[in-house]
Amino acid sequence: LFDCRSVKFTEDFVPADEKKVQFNDQVTTHQLQEYEDTDDVESTSTIIIPREQVSQDSVGASTKAPESPISTNQSNQGHVSDPEQDEGAISSDQDSSDSEVELENPTGLEALSGGHHQVFSVDVINDTPQSFADIEASPNKQAWLDATQDEYNSLLNNGTWVLTDLPPGRKALACKWLWRNKFDAVGRFTKYKARLIIKGFLQRYGLDYLEIFAPVLRYNTLRLVLFLVACNSWKIRQMDVKTAFLNDSLDDDTEIYMAQPPNYVVPGTEGQVCKLQKAIYGLKQAPRCWYLTLHQFLVGIGFERCVKEVCLYIKRVGESMVLLTVYVDDITITGNNNDDIEKACDELKQRFEMTDLGQLKSILGIQVDVKGNVVT
């Protein structure tokens, strides 16, 4: 119940009507019950306050009809009850409401969510470390250390940097480790993830970077592609690029120096820094470098970029058509020829380190459900 003080009900009031409505001096609302005063009016309203909030005297006072009640247009006729009967009615209503069985899904969320619910544990979320000291105290210490080592090995295998002395007049940008728990589309924990990022906010325009703009797929374009998939019962595949920003090289005229990663300083090279050969997470120009690298590759294998949507690529071979969308490192591939879809997936796997997620299930908050040839 909401306690709304000094509320005036003007159910019959129309702004353009010239009739003036008379109001009670004091009206307090808790629960409304209709009754009829056969002597004065046809139908009026009285206010009854639940007994658990007020005393017996106040309940009796609340059932007294107001001197100038507001008339209503309801045709149902009632009767005036005494305080004891009113109190009994309130008690009966409360007992019946307490005995009601709670609905299993009163809001219909089961149908809206498709049966997906978040099932991750609070303990898993609280275990996210912020430093190596937190990792040492974590019950999942070894899992976090393995994830960090895997990220470091990936950086070395991609030739992300070379160790060198810092040139005079230049400053090395700092870097840091980030750790996160990864979950799937329905909230289930999947793995521990570590990421080395550079503090790009320390970069200086004209010295460390120039252009930084990188387009991403528009939401309406994605909905249009999914609409075509649903209407034509096409197959749609989803792929994810592993460490996408590490696949593109920096411009030859750009020199960026970074301090060696914390806890991974190579013995005997304490005074040296990392000269970046490829983009790394945190660089201002990293998204742009990745987009240009992927664009050049897609054009090389026969795709054409859409004029109106620069993150939508189309490949036509006779009657066959393949549509490819790009949202940073999330790629979807669909079309009217399954063989051409598989061929495009294989070409991407040969060029980049990819994770094949199979049939599209979720992207940008959109759940995709495939049942036979029906896509919803």
Q: Using one digit for the tens of pLDDT, what is the confidence trace for 36-48?
A: 444 444 444 444 5
What pLDDT score does 372 carry? 58
What pLDDT score does 105 carry? 45
> What is the total count of domains within the chain?
2
Q: Is the pLDDT of residue 168 over 70?
A: yes
Has residue 105 been placed in a domain?
A: no
Question: How many residues in total does the chain contain?
Answer: 376
Band (66; pLDDT cuts 50, 70, 90): very low
- Lowest-confidence region among 34-43, 181-190, 256-265, 332-341: 34-43
What pLDDT score does 157 carry? 86
- Lowest-confidence region among 77-91, 164-178, 320-334: 77-91
Among 66, 99, 132, the domain boundary falls at 99
Band (102; pLDDT cuts 50, 70, 90): very low
Same domain assignment for residues 213 and 327: yes
Among 46, 68, 99, the domain boundary falls at 99
Same domain assignment for residues 20 and 94: yes
Q: How far apart are CA 288 and CA 209, in angstroms?
A: 11
Give me the mean pLDDT over the 66-77 stretch. Answer: 44
Same domain assignment for residues 190 and 299: yes
CA distances from 29 to 5, 23, 60, 166 (A): 7, 14, 15, 75
Cβ 274 vs Cβ 258: under 8 Å: yes
Q: Is the pLDDT of residue 255 over 50?
A: yes
Q: How far apart are CA 279 and CA 12, in angstroms?
A: 69
Same domain assignment for residues 173 and 235: yes
Average pLDDT, whole number, for the chain? 74
Locate all alpha helices (DSSP H) within the chain, ordered by sequence: 56-62, 83-98, 109-113, 122-126, 132-137, 141-157, 219-232, 286-300, 338-351
Cβ 162 vs Cβ 118: under 8 Å: no
What pLDDT score does 7 carry? 64
274-299 burial by CB neighbour count: b if 16+ within 10 A, else e?
bbbebbbbbbbbbbbbbbebbbeebe
Q: What's the gap between Cα 97 and its chain centre?
A: 37
Range of the domain at 22: 1-99
Q: How far apart are CA 25 and CA 5, in angstroms?
A: 12
Same domain assignment for residues 341 and 225: yes
- Lowest-confidence region among 119-123, 143-147, 202-206, 215-219: 119-123
Same domain assignment for residues 163 and 71: no
Same domain assignment for residues 66 and 153: no
Query: Concatenated DSSP letters for 260-298?
Result: PPTT-PPTT-TT-EEEESB--TT-TTHHHHHHHHHHHHH
The predicted-structure confidence for 269-318, as pLDDT tens digits, reads as follows: 888 999 998 888 888 888 888 898 899 999 999 999 998 899 999 999 88
What pLDDT score does 270 carry? 87
CA distances from 274 to 179, 186, 231, 310, 331 (A): 22, 39, 52, 34, 31
